[in-house]
Structure formats: C-alpha cells, structure tokens
A and B are shown apart, each in its own frame.
Chain A
Amino acid sequence: MSERKIRILLAKPGLDGHDRGAKVLARAFRDAGFEVIYTGCHQTPEQIVGAALQEDVDMVGLSCLSGAHTYLFPAVTKLLKEQDAEDIIVVGGGIIPDFDMQAMYDAGLKAVFTPGATLDSICDWIRTNVQPRE
C-alpha cells in the first residue's frame, strides 16, 4: 500500500507581509516531495482553517513576523478544534520570542521553528511527526 504524499498548507495569518521565509519553505517542502499549498499573505484565521479543511491537509504551517502570533496562532488552533480537525498538525515560525513559546505549545502547536533551523531539519521533523490523515 503506497502512502499518499504529506499535504501541507503554508499560511501567513494577519497583516504581516514578510513572506521570504514562508516562500523558501514552500520551495523546500515541494523539493522534499510534500504537496504544498501556499496561501499568500494576509489570511484571516477563518480563511486559513477553511483552506486547510478544503484542501484536506495534514499539516498547517503558520508564519508570522509582526508580533501578532500571540493572538493569531491560538485563533487558528481554536478554530480547527471547533471544526473537529485537531488531528491536523499545526506548527509555527517567524519572530516568536522565547517567552511566548509555552503559550504556543499550550495553544496546540506541535513545533515552533526558530532562526537557525535548517530546511532539512524542518523536513525531517515533518517526515517523523506528520502522517497523512485518515
């Protein structure tokens, strides 16, 4: 039985337009053999969750460099929970200060990738921790 590819939604929640990291990751994920949907900038949590469900993804990656992650990331995980989609793995990255990390994990994120994380290490983490959903 061949497994289907891991499907990833890469999203930029909120008003932050710094998309260099998200775009580099989109390429890396594609080259790593994942299926990637990149939302582009300026997505609301509702739009992100809508896209995640519509595209039937296994993982949502959130990128935020504006400092608004404290509101936006938990907003996404909360909506996924309400939609009974807690099995979609949510990870984050961007500018996330150390003292916000615990709140991110408490909100349901499984990983936050900090500056210095190599592309390979992120892809490896995904291969280890993300399975195609039933």
Chain B
Amino acid sequence: MFTPEVLEQSKTMKSKWEDEVKKIVAKNADQKPKWTTVSDLEIKRLYGPDDIKDMDFARDIGYPGQYPFLRGNQATGYRGKYWTFRMFSGMGSAAETNQRWHYLLQSGQTGLSTAFDFPTLMGYDTDSPKARGECGKCGVAIDTIEDFQTLIKGIPLAKISTSMTINPPATILWAMYCASAQMAGIGLDEISGTIQNDMLKEFIAQKTLMCPPDPSVKLISDTVEFGTKYVPKWNTISISGYHIREAGATAVQELAFTLRDGMEYVEDVIKRKGLHVDQFAPRLSFFFNSHIDFFEEIAKLRAARRIWAKAMRERYNSQDQRSWWMRFHTQTAGCSLTAQQPYNNVIRTATEALAAVLGGTQSLHTNSLDEVLCLPSEHAVQIALRTQQIIAEELGVANTIDPLAGSYFVEALTNEMEEKAWDYIRKIDEMGGMVAAIERGFPQMEISDAAYTFQKQIDANEKIMIGVNKYCTDDKVEIPFLEIDETTERDQIARLQAVKNKRDSRHVAECLKEIKTACEKGENVMPYCIEAVKSLATVQEICDVYRDVYGEYRDPGIY
C-alpha cells in the first residue's frame, strides 16, 4: 500500500514519537494501563501506515459496488437513497399500534417494523393460560388475521416495506401479510418487506423457542423457497446478530455467529430445496447491533460486508453479484442504555446511529430514551426518529461514501475483526456446523462467558457506564411511562372469542389438517398457512400443529 520510502520515513518518525511518549508517560502515567473496546479488543495509542502496509488496495479496499464491497454495495451510496428510517414499533392492541404507525409515517419514517407481544412471538393466543399478564406489553397482540387487518389499516402495502420481528410463527404472520395483500387486490410480487425468521439465533440468544433446530430450519427453508417463487421483493430471513450482542456477546462473536448462521441457512436451502445459491441469496438480509464503542461498530459492519462477499463467491460459488451484497438493518444497542439518568440515552443512541451510518447500513432503528423502562412514549420515539433525520440532513455524513476508508485505524480494526471472525467460523465448521455447535452449547457458553466478564468489569469499575458506576446521582428523573393496562388483555380475549364464534370451525379444522399433512410429508407449508389464516385459524392453532408434528424444544438453561 505504501512505497518503501514512505515506510522508511514513517519508521523514523514513529520511533521519534515513541521516544516522546516514553518521556511523557514516565512523568505522567496514562489514566489507565489498558485501553480496549467495550468488547475487550486492545486498541493501540496510535495507528499508522505500517498497520495496513500489507493490504492490497484492489483486493482488500477497492471501490463501492465492486467486490468485495468493503466500501458498500451501491456505487451511489446515500446520495441515491438514505438508509430506511425504520422504527421497531408495537404496543397493546392492533388499533393502538396502527395509530402509532401512522404517527411514525407522518413524522417521516420510511419503512415499517413490527414488534409483537410475547404470546404472539411464542405462538400462543391471548386466551392461553401461558399468555396471562403478557398481552400487549412488549408489542402488538395478534391472534388472527382480523387483528392483522386492523394493524395494517390504511397502510399502502404496494408502496411501503414492512419488517416483522417474528421467529417460530414467522410462516403464520407472513401468511397473514400475504393473504391481506391478496384480499386487497395486491399481487404477492408487489409487496416488499422482511420477516426475521432466524431460528438459529433463537437457540443461541433471543430464546423465542418452539420446535427443535432441524424442523425450525426446515420451516425457514419453506419460506425462502416460497419467496423465491412468488414474493420476489421479500427478504425471507433477517439473519440476526442484534440479539446475540444483546445477550452479552462481543462484537467479534456477533459478527462471526451471525455470518456463520447465514452460511448454515444457505447450505440448508441448497441441500433441502435443491435451489441454486443465486436463486435465493440476493434476498437474504442481515440485522446487526450498533453498540456504544464507535469505531468497533464501524469496523464490524465493514468487515461483515467483506466476509459475506468472500463466503458467497468462494465458498458457495455464487456468480451473481447481488448474492455477494450484504444488505443489513441495524438497531442501536438496547443493552448499552441505562435506567439511571435516562436522558443520557439520547446521546448514546445518537452516536450508535452515527456509527451504523458510517458503517453503511441500509436501514436503521434508533432506540428511544425510555427503552430500558417501557415501550416508547410518543415524545421519546419522536426524538429517536429525529436523531436519524438530523444525521441524514444536517451532519454531512451522507455527502460521501464510506468516509472512513483509508483510515489507518479503521482499516486495521476492520482487518482484525475479519480475521478473528474467520477463526470462529472455522471452529464452528470443525464442530460440524452451527446446528452441531448449538447442540454442544458452544455459542451459548461463549456468550455467557462474555456477559459475565462484562458485568464483573462494570462492578469493578474497569468499564464505565455514566450514571451507573460513575457520575451517579441520587435524584430520580421522572419520565413519562407508557403503560399497557389489564383492559388490553381483557378486550383482546373478547375480540378473539368473537372471531371464534363467527368462523366456520369445520373449515378451520380442515385447513389445520392440511398443514399437518404438509408437515408430515415435508411439503412447503406456506400455501396451507395462507389458506388457514384466511379461514380465521389463530396463531396458536397453527403453532400447535407444528408442536404436535415436530415436538417442542425446551430451553436447556445453559449458563
């Protein structure tokens, strides 16, 4: 990357600088002996040409829109289109959520993102004993397609893309979306969006669990196949690192486990469905965390692009560059926010959002300041959305593509993260793949170790969180608290009962039977799910079929 003359000059100047540092530090020690990222990667006092001298410009850095896409997938960058302002949102009833969605759209968000409540996420209806006390508290309650229709009322499905954070019941909620589009006269080839639908990371981190790993992956392959054939603008998986990071993983672990999960899905679809990688890979998408250590996150996202491009072309022999692109959504880190002095969270979210943009994200959710305490109030969510809009329109960072390219530090850190990620990927390969690694508890234990280490560091003040272990105050800051009360559950149960009373139960039973047969025969369940949701089958009724055929998976409680 540099001529021998420059490297010689640099060597001389660096030596002089090192002597100067030694002299100063002898009199004034550094504030602390070690300086690391939040993930414990040790960072040097200074980076220079010698840290990246072995890089090959064309092979390792290059240009946006060219392999290996370090600098971005698109030649035009954000000048062509800003990242999508996509706020994760869901609360109480479908009607309340619909209201919030219209508020967000009017406030300038450009994509939708659905947060479901725990009963829906876990495939239970609101009237299940397991759902008691949970209705609407963490997201929107959806039991049948009637709730879903209320949720999307007034939303132009052909014009706006919708992401749905849903995992074991993904086939069902996607079926509701597809059926709703059809019922509105919109073709499946017109709708766009994403279903999270990434079960591997559930076993590793998020823990919305239902069936064991193999049938869970089978259902995912069903959606990929169905999307490839009929819903071409839909991302059928959002291969996620966000939750892996929230569970306590380091940045390298987040990067490695996410990408290795992606590889596992690619291999499964090829093997199980006989598809060629380029038939479906362009519609795989990813979802990363943007945590508090600014440069570590930027380096992580850049490394992710380069690793995925290499994996697709070299490991899977992909020929289509659209398969080589890593397209991702990012969410700022919930676990970096504090309950103490919650207004500080506005700053944390802002810098994390900026890191995601400098990392080239395609889509972004910014957490609200009250994220640690409750669902976002209207005021808090507005600040979070404005954060993105200010970054886009005022900061100037969208003027130019990948502005940090060529930085000695950022390129060196990007390289280091890629190298360490590949180490993990190879290790998991040697274990027999990600499903095998999960069965051994490998990623789960890595995460547990990292989470415990971090907590001990905080308790020992080795890592600082303002308001938690430094600059603490006794005053309690009162912030508006969005409450979901018990009437939500009561009303939702009444709505569900009304649907059950009016529907043709024989037809529902037939539809459920068809799903069961499809599962037993290994057929694609999607067409049968669409029929079933139209017949007013509930989320739980269909999930119970999956539980019946595939068995239930119990969290082994690894710690």
Interface residues of A (CB under 8 A from B): 14-20, 22-24, 26-28, 38-42, 44, 66-72, 95, 97-99, 114-116, 118-120
Q: Mark B364-383, 1 if CB is under 8 A from A, else 0.
A: 00000000111000000000
A41 touches B555 (CB 8 A): yes
B103 proximal to A (CB < 8 A): no
B240 proximal to A (CB < 8 A): no
B137 touches A41 (CB 8 A): no
A97 touches B373 (CB 8 A): yes
B452 touches A27 (CB 8 A): yes
- Can you show 12 pairs from A to B with CB atoms below 8 A apart? A15-B119, A15-B130, A17-B206, A19-B247, A22-B559, A27-B448, A38-B559, A41-B555, A67-B134, A71-B133, A99-B481, A116-B468
B455 touches A15 (CB 8 A): no
| A31 CB to nearest B CB, Å | 9
The secondary structure that dominates the A interface is loop
Instruction: Please give, as numbers and ranges, the residues of chain A lying within 8 Å of B340 by CB-CB distance.
Output: 115-116
B206 touches A40 (CB 8 A): no
B559 touches A26 (CB 8 A): yes
- B204-219 contacts to A, CB under 8 A, are 206-209
B456 touches A15 (CB 8 A): no
Given A97-B374, A115-B340, A119-B455: A14 and B555 within 8 A (CB)? no
| B242 CB to nearest A CB, Å | 13
Using CB atoms, name the residue of chain A closest to B468: A116
Residue of A39, A40, A70 most packed against chain B (CB within 10 A)? A40
| A43 CB to nearest B CB, Å | 9
Given A41-B209, A115-B338, A119-B456: A66 and B134 within 8 A (CB)? yes
Given A116-B340, A119-B455: A68 and B559 within 8 A (CB)? no
Q: A55–B209 Cα gap in the complex (Å)?
A: 25
- B525-559 contacts to A, CB under 8 A, are 554-559
B324 proximal to A (CB < 8 A): no
B518 proximal to A (CB < 8 A): no
A119 touches B557 (CB 8 A): no
Q: A39–B124 Cα gap in the complex (Å)?
A: 21
| A20 CB to nearest B CB, Å | 5
Instruction: Please give, as numbers and ranges, the residues of chain B lying within 8 Å of A120 by CB-CB distance.
Output: 459
Instruction: Please give, as numbers and ranges, the residues of chain B lying within 8 Å of A38 by CB-CB distance.
Output: 557, 559
Q: A115–B133 Cα gap in the complex (Å)?
A: 22
A23 touches B133 (CB 8 A): no
Q: A96–B556 Cα gap in the complex (Å)?
A: 26
Instruction: Please give, as numbers and ranges, the residues of chain B lying within 8 Å of A24 by CB-CB distance.
Output: 248, 451-452, 455
Instruction: Please give, as numbers and ranges, the residues of chain B lying within 8 Å of A23 by CB-CB distance.
Output: 448, 451-452, 558-559
Instruction: Please give, as numbers and ranges, the residues of chain B lying within 8 Å of A71 by CB-CB distance.
Output: 132-133
Given A15-B118, A116-B468: A70 and B133 within 8 A (CB)? yes
Given A70-B133, A97-B481: A15 and B452 within 8 A (CB)? no
A67 touches B208 (CB 8 A): no
Residue of A17, A28, A72 most packed against chain B (CB within 10 A)? A17
- B316-355 contacts to A, CB under 8 A, are 335, 338-340
B451 touches A68 (CB 8 A): no
B275 proximal to A (CB < 8 A): no
Instruction: Please give, as numbers and ranges, the residues of chain B lying within 8 Å of A40 by CB-CB distance.
Output: 554-557
B484 proximal to A (CB < 8 A): yes
Residue of B118, B131, B208 most packed against chain A (CB within 10 A)? B118
Q: A116–B455 Cα gap in the complex (Å)?
A: 10
| B254 CB to nearest A CB, Å | 14
B122 touches A15 (CB 8 A): yes
B246 touches A20 (CB 8 A): yes
Q: A64–B158 Cα gap in the complex (Å)?
A: 39
Q: Quick one: which of B133, B373, B374 contacts A68, CB cutoff 8 A?
A: B133
Q: A33–B468 Cα gap in the complex (Å)?
A: 26
Instruction: Please give, as numbers and ranges, the residues of chain A lying within 8 Å of B121 by CB-CB distance.
Output: 15
B269 proximal to A (CB < 8 A): no
Instruction: Please give, as numbers and ranges, the residues of chain B lying within 8 Å of A42 by CB-CB distance.
Output: 122, 207, 209, 554-555
- B434-470 contacts to A, CB under 8 A, are 448, 451-452, 455-456, 459, 468
Q: A75–B484 Cα gap in the complex (Å)?
A: 19
A17 touches B209 (CB 8 A): yes
Q: A33–B257 Cα gap in the complex (Å)?
A: 33
A67 touches B138 (CB 8 A): yes
Q: A23–B312 Cα gap in the complex (Å)?
A: 36
Using CB atoms, name the residue of chain B closest to A69: B133
Residue of A23, A39, A99 most packed against chain B (CB within 10 A)? A23
B137 touches A66 (CB 8 A): yes
